[in-house]
Amino acid sequence: MSNLPNCPKCNSEYTYEDGLLLICPECAHEWSLEAEEQEENAKVVRDANGNILNDGDTVTVIKDLKVKGSSLVVKQGTKVKNIRLIDGDHDIDCKIDSLGAMKLKSEFVKKI
């Protein structure tokens, strides 16, 4: 009939669409294809104001941040271009002109 995915519960191939839901007639499982897709890239990184950050964004640092393991400080107001989102405690990978490559926490930056 179409290229709908098999039922994730019983693997039946007789699934059909009903609005936004997919329904399995064999085990009565209902699910949303859209929700599943969103879950796969569900990791959303937000700045201090709750705005969603994306790779390539430019942000400013909202407070002085000591760089772990060094005497360097990333000053409040430092502009950070072209951030890259990563997994982990520090979820922003970036390069700051005067300081070099480092990792920041999204809660201490805000998007410009």
Binding site for Zn ion (CB under 5 A): 7, 9-10, 12, 24, 26-27, 29
Neighbours of 22 (CB within 10 A): 21
CB of 55 to Zn ion, least distance (A): 37
CB of 23 to Zn ion, least distance (A): 9
CB of 11 to Zn ion, least distance (A): 7
Q: Which residue type sits at 65?
A: L
**Cβ nearer to Zn ion, comparing 31 with 103:** 31
CB of 6 to Zn ion, least distance (A): 8
Helix (H) or strand (E) holding 34: helix 33-40
> Would you say 12 and 25 are in contact if contact means Cβ atoms under 8 Å apart?
yes
**Cβ nearer to Zn ion, comparing 7 with 109:** 7
**Cβ nearer to Zn ion, comparing 7 with 92:** 7
**Cβ nearer to Zn ion, comparing 29 with 103:** 29
Helix (H) or strand (E) holding 79: strand 79-80
Neighbours of 63 (CB within 10 A): 12
Rounded Cα distance between 13 and 74, Å, is 56
